[in-house]
Amino acid sequence: MIDCRFADGAGDDSADASTSPEVLFTGFPGFLGSALLRRVLARGDGPVACLIQPQYRELAEKRAREIVAAVGERDDDDVPADAPTVHLYEGDVTEPDLGLGSALDDPDLLAGVEEVYHLAAVYDLSVDADLAEAVNVRGTERVLDACERLGVDRLHYVSTCYVSGRYDGVFTADHLREGQSFNNHYESSKYRAEVAVRERMADGLPATVYRPAITVGDSETGETDKLDGPYNLLRLLLAQPERLAVAFSVPGGAETELNVVPRDYVVEAVAELSARPETAGETYQLCDPDPLTVPAFVAALSDAVGRRTVTVPIPKRLAKAAARLLSAASVDVEPATIDYFDHPTRYRCPNAREALAGTGVSVPPFESYVDRLVAFAREHPSLGDDPMT
């Protein structure tokens, strides 16, 4: 059942108290949010309410119907009566009460929510400071306020490994406030958002924090919804002749680790960990415990693309200037990605590995699925890198 509602609670008359939401999602119909919603419904949690922005309503309705049908193992025209229920509420994490007003206090609407999954954020290395502050920081604070108002049993908050900023050394789930500098407003805003979550946890809010590393497409299908981050390098290689391609390297990059994980690992890990009561109060870094160095990553991607690649060492300042020139020439290479060619932080995840041991959920080697990422990107060249905000 799909129930589409507005902030005042008005919506599909088929909804009733028996299907009142017990779980609230932000970040739907985003890439991670859509996949995680399906896993949460498949394990029997719900009914679920998804906070959606009005401009994404059509997409949200489409994806919600597909997910409900898939979980119910029927097509869209024959959804069984006992299929999971998804409620779509128009609102915005940046607004007071998430733009939901009195719906948060109505027992027939959202007052029965017991768990919140907060994924909504601007995932963009070049985001400007004001937008990052509004969505990533104040939006998280609004969600925290809503959690306290609802008296939820659990918040599941999706952060990022890159709250580390440019911490020089090994960064684990035990690290956060280390006096680090940051590459960009995305990193600094996610850092401040996690600090806010940790402060509420210290005050008694039951929550779990999940920190994915750089998340790329699905390891089985290659599917992604935008070509950003490491895909900048892929676009650069694809724009050059097969017989010889050129990539950048910067001083200090030879030993730099590029920590990449596929979407399905992140989703399966969050789904597994969020189902356990003993993980409340914990922080988990969902990273590759054995990542490739930047040169090894370039080599693996070059092999998958079928390019002989020569890496040219140049100063970082010139590499960023070259990226800007390439972007102006219609080869999209985001200059902000150059900062990760000499990123000093190394990520490790001992508690996540221990918690997931024996579950079958683990990070596949990048070389085992890079061909699928490349194939999907080649089949969908019109995909951009614009974030869903």
Going by the DSSP 8-state scheme, the letter that residue 219 receives in this structure is T
- CA–CA distance, 184 with 111 (Å, rounded to integer): 37
Distance in angstroms (rounded) separating the CA atoms of residues 270 and 268 = 6
Q: Which residues contact 79 (CB under 8 A, 6 or more apart)?
A: 1, 68, 69, 72
Residue 316 pLDDT > 70: yes
The runs of H, that is alpha helices, within 26-167 are 31-42, 57-72, 129-132, 139-150
Per-residue pLDDT averaged across 25-50, rounded? 95
pLDDT at 387: 55
Region 75-88: mean pLDDT is 66
Between residues 304 and 19, the one the model is more confident about: 304
Beta strand 260-262 with 214-216: parallel, antiparallel or unpaired?
parallel
Of 321, 332, 330, the residue nearest 231 (C-alpha): 332
What interhelical angle do 185-202 and 139-150 show, nearest 10?
A: 20
pLDDT at 18: 57
Helix or strand (DSSP H, E) at 302: helix 294-305
What pLDDT digit, counting tens, does each position of 278-308 carry? 999 999 999 999 999 999 999 999 999 999 9
Q: Among 4-13, 133-142, 289-298, whose mean pLDDT is lowest?
A: 4-13
What is the pLDDT confidence band of residue 382, given thresholds at 50, 70 and 90?
confident
Tell me the one-letter amino acid at 336: A
Q: Position of tokens 């229920």?
A: 85
Task: Give the residue from 242, 241, 216, 240 showing the smallest Cα distance to 229.
Answer: 216
**Top-confidence residue, 354 or 9:** 354
User: To the nearest whole number, what is the mean pLDDT of the chain?
Assistant: 91
What pLDDT shows up at residue 72?
Answer: 76
Query: Which amino acid, residue 158?
Result: V
Q: Which residue has the higher pLDDT, 69 or 83?
A: 69
Predicted local distance difference test score (pLDDT) of residue 218? 97
Does residue 239 contact residue 332 with C-beta atoms inside 8 Å?
no
CA dihedral 58, 61, 66, 69 (to 10 degrees): -150
Distance CA 229, CA 214 (A): 8
Total-model pTM? 0.93
Structure-token pair, residue 171: 């960064």
Residue 4, helix vs strand vs coil: strand
Tokens of 198: 């940790």
**Which letter, b or e, does each residue of 86-101 get, where b requires 16 or more Cβ atoms within 10 Å of its Cβ?**
bbbbbbbbbeebbbbb
CATH number for the domain running over 2-216+260-286: 3.40.50.720
Report the share of the chain in percent with pLDDT over 90. 84
Most confident by average pLDDT, 19-23, 123-127, 367-371 = 367-371
CA distance 56 to 61: 9
CA dist 126 and 139 (Å) reads 19
Distances from the Cα of 14 to the Cα of 9, 74, 100, 120, 228, angstroms: 13, 20, 20, 28, 40
Beta bridge partners of 154: 115
Measured CA to CA, the distance from residue 344 to residue 360 in angstroms comes to 31
Please state the rounded mean pLDDT for residues 332-359.
96
Q: Is the pLDDT of residue 6 over 50?
A: no
User: DSSP 3-state assignment of 340?
Assistant: helix
* SS3 state of residue 176: coil
- In tens, the pLDDT along 197-211 reads 999 999 999 999 999
Q: Is the pLDDT of residue 131 over 50?
A: yes
